[in-house]
Structure 1
Amino acid sequence: MENTFIKVIRYLLPVALLSCAGGQPLAKNLSSTILYMDQPAASWYEATPIGNGRLGGMVYGGVTKDTIRTNDDTFWSGEPRDLQRPGAYKCLPEIRKLLLGEKNLEAQELIDKHMLGPWNQNYMPLADILLEWPGDGNVSGYRRELDLNRGVVTITYTQNGVNYKRELFASYPDQALVMNISADKKNAVEFIAGLGSQINNQTKVEGDQIVINGQAPWHTDPNYTGVHPPVYKEGKGMRFEGRLLVKQEGGTISAQDDKLHVKDAASATITFVAATSFNGFDKDPAVNGRDEKAICKKYLSSLETKKYPDLYKAHLADYSSLFGRVSIDLGESPESNLPINQRIKNYKPDMDPALTALYFQFGRYLLISASRPGSQPANLQGIWNQDMQPAWSANWTINCNAEINYWPAEITNLSECHFPMFDMIRETAVDGARTAKNLYNSRGWVAHHNLDIWRTTWMVGGTGLYSLFQVGGAWLCQHIWDHYLFTLDEDFLRDHYDLLKSASIFYLDNLQTDRDGYLVTSPSESFENGYIKPNGEKGWACIGSAQDMQIVRALFENTMKSAEILNDGAFKEEVAKAYAKLPPMKISPRTGQLQEWNDDWEPSNPASGQVGHGWAFAVGNQITLRGTPELAQAFRKTIEYRRPGYSYNSGSWTGSFPAVYWARFEEPDSVQRVIDRHFDLALSPNLTCEFMKSWQIDGNLGITTAITEMLLQSHAGEISLLPALPAKYPTGSVTGLRARGGYEVDIFWKDGVLTKAVIKADRTKRDEIIPVRYAGLVKSVKLAKGKIIVLDSSLE
């Protein structure tokens, strides 16, 4: 890039007038918004995901038999459980004494003996929509396409001289999965529709509807405890109902046992609605549940009179209002025209730049599809699951995975999709207050490693190596502050300040004094990572791991800033006193690396990919490239040694963290190497991220974030343009990204050089002077409230 800074052209125009500069892009790059396959799905990992936040489906697109596997985000095994053990905190003094006395192995034995609890319940599959089509499957021109611009799956093929077309989408306004079936020959549409489920169920036909009812197991074990059959109990477990409404134009419809047969129709529309008896995390869904049957009938009462064009129009208006805020172009290549499974199979690092842009937009599509206001937050698999015992229960793992899911929410202009996370935090704080009292004898609230829909916060089973993650709730609170930084919504901050305050109160009560007089977490562990002491002893229990203290420090900082904004000066001062006693991060005098533990210990498995003490660099901003250069370089030495981007297949967090690390180090080649490895090893044929033989959606969403941070960063008190742009994308653009401080940013570049950036101060509360960085130089720019500036490169 040329080492010349941009000149500033100031436009004193209202933001709304500059529609060509972002928001709703005027043109779409189809290579970044279309993915397709030229054959039906042979497995779940080739199927196409659709979702409306609550209701999800995986579309197989078969031509003789077709399946759409559905999920409802509230459909879980189990029921509310009181896992609290009053007085359990009495074991802590001995554990803490042992840790201070460096008897770590004895301490961790007591942790595993006295502090662990039962496992989470499992997220359940719902119902399968089963379709049978006439013919022998001999078709030509098959195409199953997902159009990210519209949120629509289109299946087309030719059979016996007839061109068939199916369109499918998940409608948020109508809370339904919708399929329209048509043909270019009159009266050529014929199919048989049915419903099935892995859950114990009954199905029947009611007029033009197929109804399925079932009940989830009362208990299921996680998959890693062995394959145990689900436990059903009479009168226990969550109920569900699904209704498939079939309406045809022309022809006939008739019942065949528990199925419907449409014949000789010009077209047909199928709408699927579902509901469960879930009535909140604290209510028994079998005894005090909602009436799932009445809810389904209510959904359908508004659908029965709507034609397909009306359903489509409402869906498109809603979906595009979110997805259409951002466009991206990273270049074209011949590979863009290939089926997505072939693009993935044939991927080479120097090929297919458009796949990176497509992956970015696919990540945004997945977040829109899995997380909408009023829904559950995206879980480990988003909203999609086919297994009775899904990997890691498809729960919310809050020692990184659940949080990574929401990294792209603000920066990629999907702020509304963040709200299910905030709802979960508030619900979690209820049981979290009980756990704080019973397990730690503290006020406030705490959460550990795992959450399920019942929002229990006690440590799960197994071992404290992972279940003892005392800062899970504190990390969740980072999302509240981040949302405020991007939106400057003081009403939101006021509504959620009590969660920050109460989480901080827990640490004010619970932090312990270490040998050097600092306040630290005790007991502690470091991101499921073990250590080796100089004497050769291996363990995991410790005090004040670096990641713990980074997260607590960030919570205190965010709470103090919130208290100042909201005029709670007394509490700010109370937090400030404890904040002053938090330990500083340490650099090992032996290795020059950032220390992971309070003592200068070695990781027992340095290649594990778990480098938790990069939290302050990749999530927070206590370590920044220029603000704390010594700490940043110490952490760089850490990841050079540990090489987290080469652990496993760079899927899930093993790709997300390293890619963001290198983006914030502003080293584009290193970012691209992680992305290349992720694309080469971690992608299933349908573009979802595979990790340890299951879809882990934080891989999709974390790499989406890393791609964004190649192009725009705002965590270090400045707006940084193209901070880590790989040479693979010499010419391109991105519009509609968000920066902290209430700004929307569009960026255009050619031959690796910035040509234009548009910054809109559409959410700022007052005029601000902010530093804007590009190509190693910084320009202080005045951003007037409600106005825009255009930064235009000097091309002399």
Structure 2
Amino acid sequence: MSWIKLYRFFCVFCFIVFIRGNLYGQDLTLWYQHPANTWTEALPVGNGKLGAMVFGGVQADRIQFNESSLWTGGPRNYNQPGAKNYLGEIRKLLSEGKQQAAEELAGRHFMGTKSISDPPEPWLTAVRAIEQQPKNPSQEHFEDKTWREMRVPSRDGWEKEGFQGLDGAVWLRTTFNVPKEWIGRELVVDLGKIRDQDFTYINGKLIGTTHDANQGRLYTIPKDLVKAQNQIAIQVINYDDKGGLVGYKDPSRKLSVFLKENTADESVYLTDTWKYWIQNDEAPRVGKYQESYQPFGDLLLDFGSQAPFSNYKRTLDVEQAICKTSYVQNGVSFERTYFSSAPDACLAIHLTADRPRQISFDASLASPHKTYNVEKVDDSTIRISVQVKQGVLRGVGFLHVRHEGGELHVGDGKIKILGANQATLFLTAATNYKSYNDVSGDAEEIAKSQLNKVKNKSYDVIRLAHIQDYQQYFTKFSLKFEADEASNSLPTDQRIAQFVKSRDPNLLALFVQYGRYLLISSSRSGGLAPNLQGIWNDLLTPPWGSKYTTNINAEMNYWLAENTNLSELQEPLFQMIKELSVVGQETAKTYYDAPGWVLHHNTDLWRGTAPINNPNHGIWVTGGAWLCQHLWEHFLYTQDESFLREQAYPIMKASALFFDHFLVSDPKTGWLISTPSNSPEQGGLVAGPTMDHQLIRQLFRNVASAAVILDIDKEFVQRLSEKSQKIAPNQIGKHGQLQEWLEDIDDPDNKHRHVSHLWAVYPGSEINWQDSPKLMNAAKKSLIFRGDGGTGWSLAWKINLWARFKDAEHAYKMVSRLLSPEEAGGGVYPNLFDAHPPFQIDGNFGGAAGVAEMLLQSHLGSIDILPALPKALYAGAVKGIRARGGFELSYQWQNGLLTHLEVFSHAGGKCSLRYRDKEIQFQTEKGQTYYLDSSLKLNRNSK
């Protein structure tokens, strides 16, 4: 080893040792004793743009990767021309209690526009014509021996069964036998739900057809068709999204055949393996309100060896943002290291062995996209290009290999390494996306430029730069809870499985730091804000399009940014808000003839702001108001007046201008109300949902406060202050609950996952113990009515709410549910990804924020220390937690009691602290640290 390499190694070693010594000895590694079998067992790495999921296989390794700007669709106008002409009539119908009529009218004239679609009839006629052929798949004795097999039902669509992107006409066939006594009697076949349309044949005869993806297929089999052995043939017509026989949500309800007269008391169950043939995979285009985030491809490593292995370990170190796979095979110790570097814009994989000439593998690139190509670039590089189906975006990636010893060959779209001592792979990827209204980028030039930058750098230099870049964010916050024993001696999946029953508080600390790791890995300056799945997605038809749902999910992604000291990482969110405020101006004019800007309940890469999907949940007007709250909170935490003046205030004011125009007087009460709108995501189209009024009132107050600080817009401030007083207030209903709607119609048995009307408790602050205890009790009763169940992100919201209620044990109960193994509702997957289910990253971010909220609150002017500390977290330490006012705190506690406290002032000004019944206020200077004891007495040596 040269002295230069030795010096670099020494620098890396010293840097890592220094960092580790300053993190309170945290438990910062996820680890497993087996490779990942599923995507939600794989481990994520990311640099804000290039994300990957590492499976860590021994014989073969899959690294599935994404580039954050690869989406379907393209720039277009999402707004419905003339929508404002129907606003008055919709409002009138709602005021008259004619909700259904209002929804029908809105459905016809008030929803956004869809992308281009093709008439389905010509294509359907063509694929149905096969039935007229002398030999066709509907026939009883059709020869299907050459057909392949598919698992049925595929409950998440056949996409999850290896048929990515399959839309079109597909034939499925199987047989079933019935008892002798059933022959000659009417039967019923239950085929579950089929997406989207089916033509079902028994023994060559059509017995039913349905075009409804949400309806189960229960078809009568005429008695003259029934034989001892029967043939089912189904032509499945799938136009878009999930396809195939998806069965029922309840897995215990199986596909079956039974006697018609005895209603399934005795059933013959259909086999779970059917033969299939893809007749036509060019389905007509289906118009979409908004677009979907896309996977890019797979980097596949084939090691060939079938030999047994031992000492397997797969890890993700969230302290360094490095993933590793290690094992012993044929007496050789192998190790692979994976990371996605932000400074060098690449995914790096380094392979080593403890004996020379042991590294041999084939590396290849593939993609689930129908249109992709892989080709040789040079003697150490291959290139992949992908084209999104029915979209304007194109992606290009390069895979380059550097090796020491052995041989390297490139051919047939693969890179082959034979007998190397070590090898390093570099993957770069880019698209032609430049902004929401500009797709003129050169994907090939960008990806090639990224590769050229790392070609001549050593692996150690790239790795060190990656660690240093990542650590500048990660090391600003640390968290550790005292544990009875070293629980990290168990693999992470086992810790998750026993979290509820065992004492393992540091799994919770790891979950918090994992949330921070995911945000650092998915939200970087110059990139895009993380979507429903961050920057990780393996499906062409991801759940909910993996978009940005702005009635909580997009916002929840950033709940931990301020309080866990990652404030700088919000730049992509602020850029998205800025873009939405521009696009939302046209939506405000087109739909409401209003100034300012508006955002409804969803957006995508192209910044659609119009209503989508269905009036019963898609016409929700306060998405922009909620996003403005993030701008205001950023100021509260940083005290950055330049940010407030130049970025936040103009956007906040424009949103307030919209609602100043939008609010109308309720004819029954005289209050100003929001109409039409929804209470996400239930109750249908209504007038006056409580959540809207909370958000608008908070926005008006924030804008007024900002204007006072900036000494501008005094008349506008006066107008907003007067209007705020007239907005329909929070109300307590007949069950003692906080009303969700203008009318007192809440159902105490409603267990819906959304708790929208509690926004003013968290993340808002209008309802609190200090100023409105009666409303706080009513809000608490509402949350009790909703119950402790819920999907992952819903549980995360409830952690924060119970923390604000200062009910520590109930908050921890929600924590325990969130950290349970994934089940029908909520929990986490083995890789700690939050489970809706399916995976949504918001629960990771929201859950981490909730733990921080249990440890510190600052929404009422003073900083409340350990406001919701449960017994299970009786001892611990936190370093670098942030509070509003520009303060950063570090403190420890033992036996549930504070021992000491440090406060660093980033902005100067008065600091107000509260711990139990003790309070203190003192003036601070910018850049100074203040030390206090457990009684909040200020140390004379502070500063």
Report the TM-score when normalising by structure 2.
0.76
CA contact (8 A) 1:328 1:734 kept: yes
CA contact (8 A) 1:529 1:603 kept: no
CA change 1:605–1:96 in 2 (3 A) is farther
Asked if 1:660 is matched to 2:811, the reply is no
CA contact (8 A) 1:25 1:326 kept: no
Please give the alpha-carbon distance, in whole angstroms, between the structure 2 residues aligned to 1:757 and 1:442.
50
CA change 1:713–1:182 in 2 (3 A) is same
Please give the alpha-carbon distance, in whole angstroms, between the structure 2 residues aligned to 1:33 and 1:584.
46
Correspondence for 1:249 among 398, 401, 404: 404
Match of residue 919 from structure 2:
778
Match of residue 849 from structure 2:
705
CA contact (8 A) 2:528 2:572 kept: yes
Match of residue 462 from structure 2:
311
SS in 2 for 1:438: helix
Please give the alpha-carbon distance, in whole angstroms, between the structure 2 residues aligned to 1:526 and 1:320.
41
SS in 1 for 2:374: strand
Please give the alpha-carbon distance, in whole angstroms, between the structure 2 residues aligned to 1:507 and 1:181.
58
Correspondence for 2:46 among 46, 51, 58: 51
Q: Letter of the aligned partner of 1:520 in structure 2?
A: I
Q: What pairs up with 1:230-245 in 2 under 5 angstroms?
A: 237-245=392-400
Please give the alpha-carbon distance, in whole angstroms, between the structure 2 residues aligned to 1:730 and 1:347.
17
How far residue 627 of structure 1 moved from its aligned partner, in angstroms, is: 2.1
Deviations 1:23-50 (A, max 9, x none): 9784335552111011111110110000
Match of residue 536 from structure 1:
none
Match of residue 254 from structure 2:
none
How far residue 620 of structure 1 moved from its aligned partner, in angstroms, is: 1.1
Instruction: Name which of structure 1's ranges 99-108 and 162-171 shifts more when overlaid on structure 2.
Output: 99-108
SS in 2 for 1:691: coil
CA change 1:427–1:604 in 2 (3 A) is farther
SS in 1 for 2:872: coil
Q: Letter of the aligned partner of 1:40 in structure 2?
A: P
Correspondence for 1:205 among 352, 376, 380: 376
CA contact (8 A) 1:529 1:605 kept: no
Please give the alpha-carbon distance, in whole angstroms, between the structure 2 residues aligned to 1:604 and 1:161.
64
How far residue 697 of structure 1 moved from its aligned partner, in angstroms, is: 0.5
Please give the alpha-carbon distance, in whole angstroms, between the structure 2 residues aligned to 1:660 and 1:608.
17
Please give the alpha-carbon distance, in whole angstroms, between the structure 2 residues aligned to 1:330 and 1:128.
38
Q: What pairs up with 1:378-393 in 2 under 5 angstroms?
A: 378-393=530-545
Q: Letter of the aligned partner of 1:677 in structure 2?
A: R
Correspondence for 2:832 among 664, 684, 687: 687
Please give the alpha-carbon distance, in whole angstroms, between the structure 2 residues aligned to 1:25 and 1:258.
42
Match of residue 217 from structure 1:
389
CA change 1:660–1:239 in 2 (3 A) is same
Asked if 1:167 is matched to 2:337, the reply is yes
Please give the alpha-carbon distance, in whole angstroms, between the structure 2 residues aligned to 1:344 and 1:29.
23
Match of residue 420 from structure 2:
265
How far residue 163 of structure 1 moved from its aligned partner, in angstroms, is: 1.0
Correspondence for 2:561 among 404, 409, 423: 409
How far residue 695 of structure 1 moved from its aligned partner, in angstroms, is: 0.8
Deviations 1:660-715 (A, max 9, x none): 111111111101111111111411111111113x2100111111011111111111
Please give the alpha-carbon distance, in whole angstroms, between the structure 2 residues aligned to 1:551 and 1:435.
19
CA contact (8 A) 1:713 1:721 kept: yes
Match of residue 651 from structure 1:
792
Match of residue 634 from structure 1:
778
Asked if 1:94 is matched to 2:96, the reply is no
CA contact (8 A) 1:24 1:326 kept: no
Asked if 1:521 is matched to 2:674, the reply is yes
CA change 1:524–1:430 in 2 (3 A) is same
Instruction: Name which of structure 1's ranges 104-113 and 242-251 shifts more when overlaid on structure 2.
Output: 104-113
Correspondence for 2:635 among 459, 481, 484: 484
Q: Letter of the aligned partner of 1:485 in structure 2?
A: L
CA contact (8 A) 1:526 1:545 kept: yes
Measured on the aligned residues, the alpha-carbon RMSD in Å equals 1.7
CA contact (8 A) 2:397 2:447 kept: yes
Match of residue 77 from structure 2:
82
Match of residue 312 from structure 2:
142
Q: What pairs up with 1:670-685 in 2 under 5 angstroms?
A: 670-680=810-820, 681=822, 682-685=827-830
SS in 2 for 1:85: coil
Asked if 1:32 is matched to 2:176, the reply is no
Q: Letter of the aligned partner of 2:312 in structure 1?
A: Y
Q: What pairs up with 1:181-580 in 2 under 5 angstroms?
A: 181-199=351-369, 200-207=371-378, 208-218=380-390, 237-283=392-438, 285=439, 289-332=440-483, 333-461=485-613, 463-496=614-647, 497-515=649-667, 516-530=669-683, 540-568=684-712, 569-580=714-725
How far residue 795 of structure 1 moved from its aligned partner, in angstroms, is: 12
Q: Which protein shows a greater Rg? A: 2
CA change 1:305–1:734 in 2 (3 A) is same
Q: Letter of the aligned partner of 1:217 in structure 2?
A: K
Please give the alpha-carbon distance, in whole angstroms, between the structure 1 residues aligned to 2:891 and 2:573.
29
Please give the alpha-carbon distance, in whole angstroms, between the structure 2 residues aligned to 1:171 and 1:194.
21
CA contact (8 A) 2:890 2:903 kept: yes
Q: Letter of the aligned partner of 2:811 in structure 1?
A: V
Asked if 1:66 is matched to 2:61, the reply is yes
SS in 2 for 1:738: strand
Please give the alpha-carbon distance, in whole angstroms, between the structure 2 residues aligned to 1:187 and 1:442.
70
Match of residue 3 from structure 1:
none
CA contact (8 A) 2:748 2:785 kept: no
Match of residue 608 from structure 1:
752
Please give the alpha-carbon distance, in whole angstroms, between the structure 1 residues aligned to 2:76 and 2:60.
41
CA contact (8 A) 2:601 2:611 kept: yes
Report the TM-score when normalising by structure 1.
0.90
Q: Letter of the aligned partner of 1:189 in structure 2?
A: I
How far residue 54 of structure 1 moved from its aligned partner, in angstroms, is: 0.6
How far residue 106 of structure 1 moved from its aligned partner, in angstroms, is: 2.3
How far residue 522 of structure 1 moved from its aligned partner, in angstroms, is: 0.9
Please give the alpha-carbon distance, in whole angstroms, between the structure 2 residues aligned to 1:73 and 1:795.
47
CA contact (8 A) 1:146 1:153 kept: yes
Q: What pairs up with 1:723-762 in 2 under 5 angstroms?
A: 723-762=867-906
Unaligned runs of 5+ in 2: 1-17, 115-288, 938-943
CA contact (8 A) 2:43 2:316 kept: yes
Q: Letter of the aligned partner of 1:178 in structure 2?
A: A
Q: Letter of the aligned partner of 1:396 in structure 2?
A: Y
Q: Letter of the aligned partner of 1:184 in structure 2?
A: D
- Report the number of matched residues: 734
How far residue 84 of structure 1 moved from its aligned partner, in angstroms, is: 2.1
CA contact (8 A) 2:381 2:410 kept: no
CA contact (8 A) 2:80 2:110 kept: no
Deviations 1:370-415 (A, max 9, x none): 1111111010001000001000000000000000000000110001
Please give the alpha-carbon distance, in whole angstroms, between the structure 2 residues aligned to 1:328 and 1:457.
39
Match of residue 537 from structure 1:
none
Q: Letter of the aligned partner of 1:330 in structure 2?
A: F
How far residue 736 of structure 1 moved from its aligned partner, in angstroms, is: 0.5
Match of residue 909 from structure 2:
767
Please give the alpha-carbon distance, in whole angstroms, between the structure 2 residues aligned to 1:605 and 1:216.
45
Q: Letter of the aligned partner of 1:262 in structure 2?
A: I
Unaligned runs of 5+ in 1: 1-22, 219-235, 531-539
Q: Letter of the aligned partner of 1:525 in structure 2?
A: N
Match of residue 5 from structure 1:
none
Runs of 4+ with deviation above 6 angstroms: none
How far residue 351 of structure 1 moved from its aligned partner, in angstroms, is: 2.0
